[in-house]
C-alpha cells in the first residue's frame, strides 16, 4: 500500500524512528504507525508557507474547525448512502474534524488521512489506538500510496490551495479503485453571483497587498478586518435570513459569521493562503474528463463547487 513519494518504490527498511527507501535512499521520520513523508528540501516556498499557516496555526488545535462532510453528504445524499463504504482516504484532513466522524462510521472499514501540516503527528497520537485509522504527513501532489487502493477519496477545500490542482486530481484518480468514488469541494469563481464575484475581485487585490507584509501584521489585519466584514456582510445576511429570505441570504459572502470576531480564521484561510485557485463548472468538467473520471456530477452553489465522481 505504501510507496515512496520520491521514487514510487515499495521496498523499505523500517528502523526505530526512520522509514528508509531502499530504491532512492530517502529517509522519512517514523513513529509507530505515523510516517512523515514531507521532506523540507523538496518543498517549494509556497508549500512551506502553507505548512506554517495551516499546520502550525489554523489547525494546531485538534478538531478546532467545523465538520465539512455534511455539506457533501447533503448535496449527494443518494450516492452517499450507496457508495460511502470501504477504505477511505481523506486528502487534507486539517484539524481532524471530518476524520473523527469517518473513524466512527460503521460502513467505513479503514480511514487513511493525510495533510502537509505538522499537526498530523498530534492527530496520529489521538488515533494511535484505533486500528482502523492511519494518519500520515504527506503532500496531495504526490501521495505515498500504490495505485487502486481506496474505495473512496474525500477532500474538502484542499486542492485549490496547492500549486497544481490538476495534479491532485490525477493523484486522487490513481489511488482510487476501479468503480471507486470521489467526493470533492473546491472554490468557485462565482461568475453567476455578482455579490461573490466582486467580493472575490476585491479579495484578490487584498491578497496581493498582504503578501508584502509580515505574518504578524497579516494576523493583526485579519483580526481587525473580521468585525468590519461581519458588519458589511454577515450581519445583513443574518437579518435577511431572519426575515425569511434564507436562499437570498446564502448568496451574501461570509453569511455564516455569528459574531464580530467569528471570521478571523476564515479571513486568515483566504487572505493569508499562499495559493488560491478558483474554477468554473466547465473548467472542472473538462479536467475531470481528461483525468479519466466518469459519471461525475458537478453542483455549483453559493458556497462553492461540489463534486461526486466515479472512476
Q: What is the pLDDT of residues 99-118, one digit of tens each?
A: 999 999 999 999 999 999 99
> Is there a single domain that holds both residue 256 and residue 282?
no
Give a yes or no: residue 12 inside a domain: no
pLDDT at residue 230, as a whole number: 96
294 SS3 class: strand
> Is there a single domain that holds both residue 253 and residue 282?
no
Give a yes or no: residue 247 inside a domain: yes
> Is there a single domain that holds both residue 83 and residue 165?
yes
User: Do 158 and 168 form a contact (C-beta atoms < 8 A)?
Assistant: yes
The predicted model gives 25-34 an average pLDDT of: 95
Q: pLDDT of 274-288, one tens digit each?
A: 999 999 999 999 999
pLDDT at 40 over 80: no
252: containing domain: 194-271
pLDDT at residue 287, as a whole number: 97
pLDDT at residue 19, as a whole number: 95
pLDDT at 194 over 80: no
Give a yes or no: residue 49 inside a domain: no
Higher pLDDT residue, 245 or 134?
Answer: 134
Our count of domains for the chain comes to 2
The predicted model gives 250-264 an average pLDDT of: 90
> Is there a single domain that holds both residue 167 and residue 299?
yes
Q: pLDDT of 213-231, one tens digit each?
A: 999 999 999 999 999 999 9
What's the N-to-C CA distance of the chain in angstroms? 19
- Output the furthest CA–CA distance in the chain (Å, rounded): 65
> Is there a single domain that holds both residue 130 and residue 90?
yes
pLDDT at residue 56, as a whole number: 84
Give a yes or no: residue 7 inside a domain: no
Q: pLDDT of 5-16, one tens digit each?
A: 999 999 999 988
Which of 4-8, 163-167, 217-221, 252-256 has the weakest average pLDDT? 252-256
Give a yes or no: residue 216 inside a domain: yes
The predicted model gives 46-58 an average pLDDT of: 85
> Is there a single domain that holds both residue 252 and residue 162?
no
pLDDT at 241 over 90: yes
> Is there a single domain that holds both residue 169 and residue 282?
yes
- Smallest CA-to-CA distance from 281 within 205, 184, 200 is with 184
Q: Mean pLDDT over all residues of the chain?
A: 93
Chain mean position to CA 39: 20
> Is there a single domain that holds both residue 199 and residue 259?
yes
* pLDDT category of residue 122 using cuts at 50, 70 and 90: very high
CA distances, 248 to each of 24, 193, 231, 275, 286 (Å): 56, 11, 17, 29, 30
pLDDT > 70 fraction of the chain, expressed in percent and rounded: 100
> Is there a single domain that holds both residue 283 and residue 267?
no
- Smallest CA-to-CA distance from 299 within 64, 71, 6 is with 71
> Is there a single domain that holds both residue 76 and residue 152?
yes
Higher pLDDT residue, 142 or 58?
Answer: 142
> Is there a single domain that holds both residue 259 and residue 295?
no
Give a yes or no: residue 151 inside a domain: yes
Q: What are phi and psi of 258, to 5 degrees?
A: -95, -25
For residue 43, give the DSSP letter: S
Give a yes or no: residue 222 inside a domain: yes
- Per the listing, cell 443574518 goes with 238
Higher pLDDT residue, 55 or 25?
Answer: 25
The predicted model gives 157-170 an average pLDDT of: 96
> Is there a single domain that holds both residue 108 and residue 211?
no
Contacts by 68-74, CB closer than 8 A, 24 or more apart: 68/97, 68/98, 68/156, 68/157, 68/185, 69/98, 69/101, 69/102, 69/154, 69/156, 71/156, 71/185, 71/303, 71/306, 72/154, 72/156, 72/183, 72/184, 72/185, 72/306, 72/308
Q: Which CATH number covers residue 305? A: 3.40.50.150
pTM (two decimals): 0.92
C-alpha cell at 265: 480564521
The predicted model gives 24-36 an average pLDDT of: 95
pLDDT at 73 over 90: yes
Question: Cβ neighbours of residue 190 under 8 Å, at least 6 residues apart?
Answer: 196, 197, 200, 278, 302
C-alpha cell at 93: 484532513
pLDDT > 90 fraction of the chain, expressed in percent and rounded: 76
The predicted model gives 173-180 an average pLDDT of: 97
Give a yes or no: residue 33 inside a domain: no
Amino acid at each position: 500500500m505504501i510507496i515512496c513519494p520520491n521514487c514510487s518504490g515499495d521496498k523499505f527498511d523500517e528502523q526505530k524512528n526512520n522509514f528508509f527507501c531502499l530504491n532512492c535512499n530517502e529517509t522519512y521520520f517514523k513513529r509507530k504507525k505515523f510516517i512523515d513523508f514531507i521532506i523540507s528540501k523538496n518543498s517549494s516556498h509556497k508549500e512551506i508557507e502553507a505548512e506554517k499557516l495551516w499546520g502550525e496555526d489554523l489547525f494546531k488545535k485538534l478538531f478546532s474547525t467545523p465538520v465539512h462532510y455534511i455539506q457533501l453528504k447533503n448535496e449527494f445524499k443518494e450516492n452517499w448512502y450507496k457508495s460511502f463504504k470501504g477504505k477511505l482516504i481523506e486528502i487534507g484532513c486539517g484539524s481532524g474534524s471530518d476524520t473523527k466522524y469517518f473513524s466512527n462510521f460503521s460502513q467505513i472499514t479503514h480511514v487513511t488521512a493525510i495533510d502537509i501540516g505538522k499537526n498530523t503527528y498530534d492527530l496520529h497520537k489521538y488515533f494511535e489506538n484505533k486500528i482502523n485509522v492511519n494518519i500520515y504527513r504527506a503532500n496531495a501532489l504526490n501521495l505515498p500510496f500504490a495505485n487502486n487502493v481506496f474505495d473512496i477519496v474525500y477532500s474538502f477545500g484542499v486542492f485549490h490551495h496547492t500549486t497544481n490542482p490538476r495534479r491532485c486530481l490525477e493523484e486522487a484518480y490513481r489511488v482510487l479503485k476501479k468503480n471507486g468514488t470521489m467526493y470533492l469541494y473546491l472554490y468557485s469563481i462565482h461568475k453567476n453571483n455578482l455579490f461573490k464575484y466582486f467580493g472575490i475581485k476585491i479579495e484578490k487585490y487584498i491578497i496581493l497587498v498582504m503578501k508584502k507584509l509580515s505574518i504578524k501584521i497579516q494576523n493583526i489585519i485579519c483580526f481587525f478586518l473580521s468585525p468590519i466584514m461581519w458588519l458589511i456582510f454577515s450581519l445583513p445576511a443574518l437579518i435577511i435570513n431572519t426575515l425569511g429570505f434564507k436562499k437570498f441570504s446564502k448568496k451574501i459572502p461570509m453569511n455564516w459569521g455569528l459574531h464580530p470576531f467569528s471570521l478571523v480564521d476564515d479571513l486568515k484561510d483566504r487572505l493569508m493562503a499562499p495559493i488560491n485557485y478558483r474554477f468554473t463548472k466547465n473548467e472542472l468538467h473538462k479536467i475531470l474528463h481528461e483525468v479519466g473520471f466518469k459519471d461525475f456530477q458537478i453542483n455549483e452553489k453559493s458556497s462553492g463547487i461540489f463534486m461526486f465522481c466515479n472512476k
